[in-house]
Amino acid sequence: MSEADVVDVRRIDRDPQQLETLYRAHVSAVEGFVARRLTHPACVADVTSEVFLAAIASCRKFDPDRATNPRVWLFGIAYRLVAEHHRRSARRTRLQHEGAHLSVLESDSIERLEARIDAEREARDLRVQLERLSERDRALLELTSIDGLSIADAAVGLGLAHGTARVRLHRLKTKLRTSLRPAPPPVAEPTATLAHAR
């Protein structure tokens, strides 16, 4: 059992050691979760920070019987904060939004986050298909297939019943397999050659 497995999440608001252990164990996974959903490095950094601030504010509500893995709980918070970010961004123009954050980060932080975002975009065909899904279906698929959560843990993080999540995930995977299956190569029409005897 690792040190991260014994974090008392309900004490992170008053025990800096518990908070540091939780943060170090999960910040990379939370940042990756957020980076797959947002495109601007400053926004990724902001929302990742907001996840841990929200975790501190709501830590006493953490139910270890419902979410046995703190990462599931953090992903649930991240899911809600990303959705909130998208709602806020829709009210502003993209230019205003980007300009407000550029001076906040140092250039090496921006470069690191840009590299992280680029790395998360390697499977472009899959991404196009994922963007066609509802936000909740996409989150369910990503939590189980990319972030490695069990269906039960993903269901908890998204507020779904386990059975509902299982059926939904099966349908999503079937739909994606069908849509991503490469089209068969075109069959060349045989060309007739005439041998002329002279």
Cα distances from 111 to residues 36, 44, 98, 168, in angstroms, run: 16, 12, 15, 37
pLDDT tens, 105-158? 667 778 888 887 766 655 566 777 878 888 899 889 889 988 899 999 999 999
Q: Which CATH class is domain 1-122?
A: mainly alpha
Please name which of 36, 61, 66 lies closest in space to residue 48, comparing C-alpha atoms.
36
pLDDT tens, 180-191? 666 566 666 655
Answer whether 165's CB lies under 8 Å from 140's CB. Answer: yes
Please name which of 80, 89, 17, 34 lies closest in space to residue 54, comparing C-alpha atoms.
80
CATH architecture of 127-180: Orthogonal Bundle (1.10)
- pLDDT at position 85 is 92
- pLDDT at position 155 is 92
- pLDDT at position 1 is 42
pLDDT tens, 145-163? 888 999 999 999 999 999 9
DSSP class of 183: P
Q: Is residue 51's pLDDT more than 90?
A: yes
Residues of the chain with CATH 1.10.10.10: 127-180
What residues contact residue 148 under an 8 Å CB cut-off, 6+ apart?
Answer: none
Question: What is the phi-psi region of residue 122: left when phi exceeds 0, alpha when psi lies from -120 to 50, beta otherwise?
Answer: alpha
Q: Is residue 5's pLDDT more than 60?
A: no
Round to whole Å and give the CA distance between 196 and 198: 6
- pLDDT at position 70 is 93
Average pLDDT for 35-51: 94
What residues contact residue 23 under an 8 Å CB cut-off, 6+ apart?
Answer: 52
Query: Residue 129's CB: how many other CB atoms inside 10 A?
Result: 17
Average pLDDT for 13-31: 94
* Angle, alpha carbons 64-139-21 (nearest 5°): 40
Residues of the chain with CATH 1.10.1740.10: 1-122
